[in-house]
Structure 1
Amino acid sequence: MFDRLKGKTVMVTGASSGIGASCARLFAEVGSNLILTARRTDRLAALAAEIRSKYPQVQVYTAELDVRNRADVDRVVSELPAEFSAIDVLSIDTVLDTNVKGLLYVTRAVVRGMRARGSGHVIMMGSIAGLTAYPTGSIYCASKYAVHAIAQSLRAETLDVPIKVTEINPGMVETEFSIIRKTMAIKRRLTNAVVFAASRHQRCVVSDVVLLATGQYSPTVAHRKE
């Protein structure tokens, strides 16, 4: 199922922890070469060492990156080694203040190359909070609504080029951020959804995924076992 991803170059933002790190591990498992970016370089180095040890055939490049800094984004993308410069899949995982600007900066920098090559896949991490708002979540919900709008707009803007755009909208997921918010864990299933979407045939795109825990209905309605 995932043979199409073997040898492909995948860029993962926010790869130092949470969903980003989980995606990096699964992309490595299916044989993709990786560009891992985040602000915490010590964690990036540890993840890269883990992947190289477990999957010697996988090439890994790491870069310190603050996606909120447009110049930093452009620099990292422009300075990629030749063997990593043709990015096939961009997996963007951003939170809170990095959601909107970070998403725009990274997408702009990477899609430019995809358009020039005539292929590519952008996978954006949204949230059901970007589909249904909830009390006390105005800032977070607004940022995720923006992710939803950006994904839809990019999809329309790239119809003339076979660039695929996927938006993954999870419900309750266990990350360092969501542990504070006391959410439930479906991180592995979410990672599987990201890699599944990336592995589809070039003529087929999984455009939107809403992934909920079995006991969840909406951002505020869920059954939790005691």
Structure 2
Amino acid sequence: MTVRRKILVTGASSGLGEGMARAFAARGRDLALCARRTDRLEALREDLLAAHPGITVSVRSLDVNDHQQVFDVFRALRTDLGGLDRVVVNAGLGKGRPIGTGRFDANLQTAQTNFTAALAQCEAAMEIFRAQRAGHLVVVSSMSAMRGLPRSLTTYAASKAGVSALAEGIRAEMLQARSPIAVTTLHPGYIATDLSAGAAKTPMMTSTEKGVRAMVRAIEREGAEAKVPAWPWVPVGFLLRRLPLRLVTKVS
């Protein structure tokens, strides 16, 4: 298996992005980390270098909704590390409101961040990988992508379904071209982060540590798709795809 030593992670200042950065650093990988909150990125960089002095950690400010900045920052981080072996498209947003209740602004922001900004990140990553003729694109989707979901989850689920289809389309092209570029789609279930603190009593919630371990293992395997953690989300995913919609709405 190819060892990807130079890894870029977006949305790395907190939550799953920060967790993945810490896990990859523990494996001795060089990191390119970006997010809007540069103070947290700098603090994370100091922590990682103190714990793992043999690695390189480069950080850059990035608002993924500034699409030109996405390309500029990815190129700069590639230069910082002397190439990129893996890009984890992780930055995302979870806000949303029921459709037609006067909060188009919240739903638009979610759609733009989770899909359009993810498209920009995939474009920037694949531009680098095509030039290198190598690389691993990882797109963080969600179990919410499995079906259309009601209420505040409607736009979020739709944006994540779009991201999953985007990654699959890129993967299809790479397979057709017999390219060495790998593409992995992650579908995390409920994983505790600072963003999910208000949903602490959600059934099937997994700790941040367990969730991140499962995500990193799946990334390192470089499979086409992974539901993480596998238990209970592999069987839940099977059911979500097959249950009548009226039952899906009762468990969402």
Matches within 5 A, 1:16-165: 16-80=13-77, 82-96=79-93, 97=110, 98-136=113-151, 137-159=153-175, 160=177, 161-165=179-183
Q: Note the C-alpha offset of 1:132.
A: 2.2
Bigger fraction of residues in helix = 2
CA offset digits 1:105-130 (Å, max 9, x no partner): 11111211111111110111111100
The separation in 2 between residues aligned to 1:69 and 1:167, in whole angstroms, is 23
Q: Note the C-alpha offset of 1:83.
A: 4.5
- Superposed CA RMSD in Å reads 2.2
Q: Note the C-alpha offset of 1:189.
A: 3.1
Quick one: percent identity of the two aligned structures?
Answer: 33
Which of 206, 227, 245 lines up with 1:210 in the alignment? 227
Pick which of 23-32 and 104-113 moved more.
104-113
Moved over 4 A (4+): 212-216
Q: Secondary structure at the match of 1:80?
A: helix
The separation in 2 between residues aligned to 1:181 and 1:213, in whole angstroms, is 21
The verdict on how the C-alpha distance between 1:129 and 1:18 changes in structure 2, with shifts beyond 3 A counting, is same
Q: Secondary structure at the match of 2:77?
A: coil
Larger gyration radius, structure 1 or structure 2: 2
Matched residue count: 215
TM-score by length of 2: 0.78
The separation in 2 between residues aligned to 1:9 and 1:28, in whole angstroms, is 10
Q: Note the C-alpha offset of 1:134.
A: 2.4
The separation in 1 between residues aligned to 2:184 and 2:78, in whole angstroms, is 26
The separation in 2 between residues aligned to 1:123 and 1:86, in whole angstroms, is 16
Q: Secondary structure at the match of 1:79?
A: helix
Q: Secondary structure at the match of 1:110?
A: helix
Q: Secondary structure at the match of 1:95?
A: coil
Equivalent AA in structure 1 for residue 223 of structure 2: V
Q: Match for residue 167 of structure 1? A: 185
Q: Match for residue 197 of structure 2? A: 179
Q: Match for residue 4 of structure 1? A: 3
- Identify unmatched segments of 5+ residues in structure 2: 94-109, 241-247
The verdict on how the C-alpha distance between 1:221 and 1:39 changes in structure 2, with shifts beyond 3 A counting, is same
CA offset digits 1:74-111 (Å, max 9, x no partner): 11123236341411011111223211112111111121
The separation in 1 between residues aligned to 2:45 and 2:9, in whole angstroms, is 12
- Identify unmatched segments of 5+ residues in structure 1: none
The separation in 2 between residues aligned to 1:214 and 1:76, in whole angstroms, is 36
Which of 192, 217, 230 lines up with 1:196 in the alignment? 217
Q: Secondary structure at the match of 2:184?
A: strand
Q: Note the C-alpha offset of 1:168.
A: 0.8
Q: Secondary structure at the match of 1:158?
A: helix
Q: Secondary structure at the match of 2:46?
A: helix
Equivalent AA in structure 2 for residue 211 of structure 1: V
